[in-house]
């Protein structure tokens, strides 16, 4: 019996340029470093460029290039200006990580229009217009690309006092599926990562409550909270040639939480 030939699985990103929004800390910082470890050059985007320098230094220490770009995802004009600068200085991107996001926990009866608009403009509208701008560059280059949206457990389940956030992340799930279908002929893959419970600046309000931690750990089959390294491999996989036939999917990195409810 002849064993068929299989090409080596390629998780490498050498020669690729990735843009990560909200890359100054937490998940965005970890994913930017992960892509650099896999060989990518990075464009680090955020509202305050100075806050991105720590991430840039970590990437340069790996021998990769890191460019810092001001970009406010809640402002469509800022997105346009940022991508114009990227086009002029770098030429294009191969990977977009739509990570920038905000969260505010508040009882639904107390939510006002300003809070609703703030979360939706940043988490959903901003992600769409970043994806649109990236897809225009990718399609112009004619080589396709990969877009990765940061979804959430709230893309799948309802969390009390997190209605605007959950609405934005559920919308992001729908957007991921729709864009994957529409942009497949352009060679652009659109996927998502859905982090479970990870301790970040956005979620610190929960982790200060010991009773909450005990209760939540009892609901996670792997019996621990997530570590940034748990997300890094998922991001590299979905951005790499190893995931060439994967699009329109969200990979939940949650210790089995969703599977157990």
Alpha-carbon gap, residue 246 to 234, rounded angstroms: 12
Paired tokens of 87: 């086009």
Residue tagged 């346009």 (tokens): 80
Q: Answer whether 231's CB lies under 8 Å from 27's CB.
A: yes
Q: Phi first, then psi: what are they for 17, rounded to 5°?
A: -115, 130
Q: Is 165 a catalytic residue?
A: yes
The single residue listed with the structure tokens 């929004």 is: 21
Catalytic residue among 165, 207, 245, 252: 165
**How many whole angstroms separate alpha carbon 125 and alpha carbon 119?**
9
- Whether 193 and 251 have beta carbons less than 8 Å apart is answered as yes
Contacts of 141 (CB under 8 A, 6+ apart): 92
Residues designated as active site: 165
């Amino acid at each position: 019996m002849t064993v068929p030939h299989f090409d080596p699985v390629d998780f490498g990103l050498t020669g690729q340029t990735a843009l990560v929004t909200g890359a100054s800390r937490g998940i965005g910082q970890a994913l930017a470093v992960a892509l650099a470890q896999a060989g990518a050059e990075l464009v680090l985007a955020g509202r305050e460029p100075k806050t991105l320098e720590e991430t840039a230094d970590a990437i340069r220490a790996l021998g990769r290039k890191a460019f810092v770009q001001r970009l406010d995802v809640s402002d469509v004009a800022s997105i346009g200006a940022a991508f114009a600068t990227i086009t002029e200085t770098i030429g294009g991107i191969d990977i977009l990580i739509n990570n920038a996001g905000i969260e505010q926990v508040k009882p639904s009866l107390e939510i006002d229009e300003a809070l609703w608009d703030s979360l939706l403009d940043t988490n959903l509208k901003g992600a769409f217009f970043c994806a649109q701008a990236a897809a225009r560059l990718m399609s112009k280059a004619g080589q396709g690309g990969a877009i990765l949206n940061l979804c959430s457990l709230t893309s799948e389940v309802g969390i009390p006092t997190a209605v605007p956030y959950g609405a934005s992340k559920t919308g992001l799930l729908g957007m991921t599926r729709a864009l994957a279908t529409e942009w497949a002929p352009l060679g652009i893959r659109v996927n998502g990562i859905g982090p479970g419970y990870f301790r970040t600046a956005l979620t610190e309000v929960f982790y200060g409550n010991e009773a909450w931690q005990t209760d939540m750990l009892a609901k996670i089959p792997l019996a621990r909270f997530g570590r940034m390294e748990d997300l890094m491999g998922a991001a590299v996989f979905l951005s790499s040639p190893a995931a060439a036939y994967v699009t329109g999917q969200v990979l939940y990195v949650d210790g089995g939480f969703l599977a157990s409810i």
